[in-house]
Structure 1
């Protein structure tokens, strides 16, 4: 599976729908599934689920898993491990990119709330390894870009473990200028 996709504006527009983003996340995290399976997981009807799967496939986010199922039972799998946005290179955050990023932020917040709610039920060794921390530092745009690239490299270099105690471990990297900053002040 290629590691990432950088969708065009039409692809970002398609991913701006929360159901599609949830479907893609499920297919990435849990592997191939049918429309029926996803409909049950997301509490949707299969017709709506099939429609959203077709939209994801049209933009190259998912592909049919031809190794599974039959003519009646179509299986789908994620085509990439991650989605990246190219708004930095374009120099503009337009409304389609903003809509996509708002949906991503909403789903990250939902996942973080779920993780906090489940913390008390984790084995002790897993309760100690996570963090919900924040730092605020003063950086130039070049320093901020270098920092984000370095953090992404560290995360990208982490190797999957096959050890018995290994489990999926979610890392969200959120880095941005502090909201509410007045840019006309020196």
Structure 2
């Protein structure tokens, strides 16, 4: 899960780690999904800073950080912090939550479902929070720069796949160029792509 690299992306776009059943089971906890996404979106954190963000104790976040690190989902930042205040980061690179081998077992399928459900619930909550507060909290500059758009086209599966690849090539280029950008006016930005077929027999 940074958020735009942890989603289920077309594997042709770049090298991607496909999580095995053990890693999915380690991630399959609401707090761990949140920690993973925070590290993806906002960069390195300590157990204390994560505790402040999540409203948990540092003991709880430390426990979950160790569980994630055990499966190489996160790693300690070298040469930063002390023995008492360790910094953790999410390694760069794409990650897929969808593993056919894991989905073939009840435990793997259950873990995959928990991870996907928690991840997308957080994603939807972030969007709802933005919509509820943007007019009051965001400057006109940031409001004008934001795009929330929906369109519908009639495509074949091959055409949808081609569109997915084109979009992710553009997203990958932006992420590669600006992933570590710092400076005045720079903020984390969520880049979201939702492409999926609609059930013509249902209205929603």
Q: TM-score, normalised by structure 2?
A: 0.75
8 Å CA contact 2:42–2:188 kept in 1: the answer is no
Matching residue within 33, 56, 64 for 1:52: 64
8 Å CA contact 1:108–1:172 kept in 2: the answer is no
Counterpart of 1:114 in structure 2 is 129
Question: How much does 1:163 deviate?
Answer: 6.7
Structure with more relative contact order (C-alpha pairs < 8 Å, separation 6 or more): 2
8 Å CA contact 2:32–2:68 kept in 1: the answer is yes
Render the CA deviation track for 1:139-172: whole Å, top value 9, x for unaligned: 2222221111111111111232667444322111
Matching residue within 123, 131, 134 for 2:150: 134
Q: TM-score, normalised by structure 1?
A: 0.81
4+ long deviations beyond 6 Å: none
- Over the aligned positions, Cα root-mean-square deviation in angstroms equals 2.6
Question: How much does 1:117 deviate?
Answer: 2.4
Counterpart of 1:64 in structure 2 is 76
Give unmatched runs, 5+ long, in structure 2: 6-15
Give unmatched runs, 5+ long, in structure 1: none
The structure that is helix-richer by fraction is 2
Question: How much does 1:97 deviate?
Answer: 2.4
Render the CA deviation track for 1:32-59: whole Å, top value 9, x for unaligned: 2221221121111222211110111012
Matching residue within 20, 43, 60 for 1:31: 43
